[in-house]
Structures are given as C-alpha cells and as structure tokens.
Amino acid sequence: MYSIKIFRDDFVFSSGHIMIYGENLIEASHGHNYKVELEIFGELNEYGLLIDFREIKKILKNLIEELNQNFLIPQNKDILVKDNDSLYDVYYREEKIISLKKEIVVLLNISNISSENLCLYFTNKIINKNIFHKKIEYFILTIKESYGQKATYRHTFQ
C-alpha cells in the first residue's frame, strides 16, 4: 500500500471562534492558526499515481481560503445568528455573546467549532469533489490548532 502526505507552510488558516463545552458553558471568543494535513492511502492507478497532487492541493487551498481570516460560527440548536444591518448578532441560548461584521463571518453546518468538527467539515467537502479513484482505501485529515493539540479524522472508502 502506498501513501502520500500533503502538508505545506501555506496550508494554514487563522480563524476566530467560540467554543461550547456543555450545558451553559461557553468559552470566550478567541482564535487559532490552524494547520491542515492530509494523508491518503491506497494502490496506484493505471498512471502510477495515488492521486493528482494538483487537484487535491487546489481543493485544500480553496477550503483554507474560505475560512482564513474569518470568524467561524456553528449552526446548531443553541446558537442563534440575527441579522442586524451590517452585523450579525450571535446569541447562545438567548443571551447575546458577540456582534460581528457580516463580511468576516462564516456559518458552518457543524455542531461546534472544534478541531474534531473542522476535520469532519474538511472531509465532507473533499469527498463531495469525487476525485478519488477506486484503489484509494482511506485518508486521514489532521487539523492542528496549536502546538501539541490536534485532531484527526479517518475516512474509509467502502
């Protein structure tokens, strides 16, 4: 079995977020300089390649650009985002926690802005591009949020 690992100095995005830790426990807004890595495992295709580096790098770069220099807000039952002219007012269980300029907000359809959920978000976006040939067995996506802290998600193809 072959593997390739994609990790580059420019596979970094800086984003702010809030973090929900449980019933009535929410961390103040803060940010990270996230790093993204992707490792793909499988057998080579008929051209002797595991994957076209150009294609997967482009997908990752686009996802990173979408999130970079923005404030990430999860869309879940406890978070309410209200339109207020040029701002979004963000509420947690009916209590306003922050107001942000609309142009820096990215609403993500995930339950919480954790490294684990960001891994799943990236994984789903990558899978939807349908770029993997039938000999790819799985890939592992890693999000590093700071030195010594990372999350990984392994997606296995059936």
**What pLDDT, in 10s, does the model give residues 61-102?**
999 999 999 999 999 888 999 999 999 999 998 889 999 999
If you average pLDDT over every residue of the chain, what do you get?
A: 94
**What pLDDT, in 10s, does the model give residues 111-154?**
999 999 999 999 999 999 999 999 999 999 999 999 999 999 99
Q: pTM of the prediction? A: 0.93
Strand bridging mode 136-146 / 149-156:
antiparallel
Residue 98 phi, psi dihedral angles, 5° rounding? -165, 150
Question: What is the predicted pLDDT for the residue at 93?
Answer: 87
| CA distances from residue 96 to 36, 78, 89, 90 in whole angstroms, order as listed | 32, 12, 7, 6
Question: What is the predicted pLDDT for the residue at 57?
Answer: 96
Question: What is the predicted pLDDT for the residue at 114?
Answer: 95
**What pLDDT, in 10s, does the model give residues 13-37?**
999 999 888 777 788 889 999 999 9
CATH topology of domain 2-72+109-156: Tetrahydropterin Synthase; Chain A (3.30.479)
Which pair of structure tokens corresponds to residue 14?
């800086």
Domain boundaries, the chain: 2-72+109-156
Residue 3 has pLDDT above 80, yes or no: yes
